[in-house]
C-alpha cells in the first residue's frame, strides 16, 4: 500500500473505487488542496506503473479545523481529519488505520500537535476505530446536515450528530513503513 497526496490525474481512479455519483467531490478536494486549504490523501495498491493502481480509500485534512463553526470555535487551530472512506472490498484490512496515521504524519510535519475527528452517534464502527487509534472524547458535540448520494446516486439530505474526538500528536506517531511521505501545506499560503 502506498499513501500519497492526490492529484488531478488521480480523480478517475478515485471515482472508480469511491464513486461520488456526479457530485465531483474528489475533484473539489484536489482543487482545495491546490489552494492550500486541505490535504487530500489516498491509499493505493498496484505495481510500479501507477496508472494501473487501484484506489483503496481516501482521507481529508481540513487545516482550518472542522467544517462546523461551533467546533472550530471550541477547538481553534486543530486540524480536522475527515471524509475517511475505504472502498467496501478493502474494509477491515487496515486501510482506514493507515490513512488516519498518514494524515497525522502530515499534520505533525506541518508543525501541529493535535488532530480532531468527528464520530457520528450512529457510526459505532468509526467511533471504535478512532478510539483504538488514541482519539478521546473532547466533550464537544456537533450537528451537521449535508447532501450525500445514496447507492443509486440520488442525493439524500443527511442529518448527523456526534462527538468530536481529539488526539494529542506528540512527536511522530507509529506509522506503517509503506507510507510515502507527503508534503505539508506551504504555511505562507495557509495561515492556519
pLDDT score, position 60 = 98
Largest interatomic CA distance in the chain: 46
Looking at per-residue confidence, does 10 or 184 come out higher? 10
Confidence tier at 47 by pLDDT (50, 70, 90): low
CA distance 162 to 70: 13
Asked if residue 146 has pLDDT above 90, the reply is no
Asked if residue 109 has pLDDT above 70, the reply is yes
- Buried (b) or exposed (e) across 81-108, using 16+ Cβ within 10 A? bbbbbbbeebeeeebbebbbbbbbbbbb
Q: Name the helix (H) or strand (E) containing 125.
A: helix 124-132
pTM value is 0.85
* Mean pLDDT confidence for 17-23: 88
CA distance 146 to 93: 28
The label of the residue with cell 483503496 reads 56
Query: Domain residue spans in the chain?
Result: 2-168
For residue 98, give the nearest of 161, 10, 190, 4 by alpha carbon: 4
Confidence tier at 87 by pLDDT (50, 70, 90): very high
Map residue 14 onto helix, strand or coil.
helix
CATH of domain 2-168: 3.40.630.30
Amino acid at each position: 500500500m502506498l499513501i500519497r497526496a492526490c492529484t488531478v490525474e488521480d480523480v478517475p481512479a478515485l471515482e472508480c473505487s469511491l464513486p461520488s455519483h456526479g457530485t465531483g467531490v474528489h475533484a473539489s478536494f484536489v482543487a482545495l488542496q491546490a489552494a492550500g486549504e486541505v490535504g487530500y490523501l489516498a491509499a493505493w495498491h498496484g505495481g510500479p506503473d501507477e496508472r494501473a493502481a487501484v484506489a483503496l480509500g481516501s482521507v481529508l485534512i481540513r487545516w482550518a479545523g472542522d467544517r462546523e463553526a461551533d467546533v472550530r470555535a471550541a477547538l481553534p487551530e486543530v486540524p480536522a481529519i475527515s471524509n475517511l472512506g475505504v472502498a467496501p472490498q478493502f474494509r477491515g484490512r487496515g486501510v482506514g488505520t493507515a490513512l488516519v496515521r498518514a494524515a497525522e504524519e502530515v499534520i505533525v510535519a506541518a508543525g501541529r500537535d493535535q488532530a480532531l475527528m468527528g464520530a457520528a452517534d450512529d457510526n459505532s464502527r468509526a467511533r471504535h476505530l478512532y478510539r483504538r487509534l488514541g482519539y478521546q472524547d473532547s466533550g464537544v458535540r456537533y450537528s451537521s446536515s449535508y447532501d450525500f448520494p445514496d447507492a443509486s446516486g440520488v442525493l439524500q439530505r443527511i442529518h448527523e450528530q456526534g462527538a468530536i474526538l481529539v488526539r494529542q500528536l506528540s512527536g511522530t506517531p507509529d506509522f506503517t513503513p509503506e507510507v510515502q511521505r507527503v508534503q505539508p501545506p506551504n504555511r505562507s499560503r495557509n495561515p492556519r
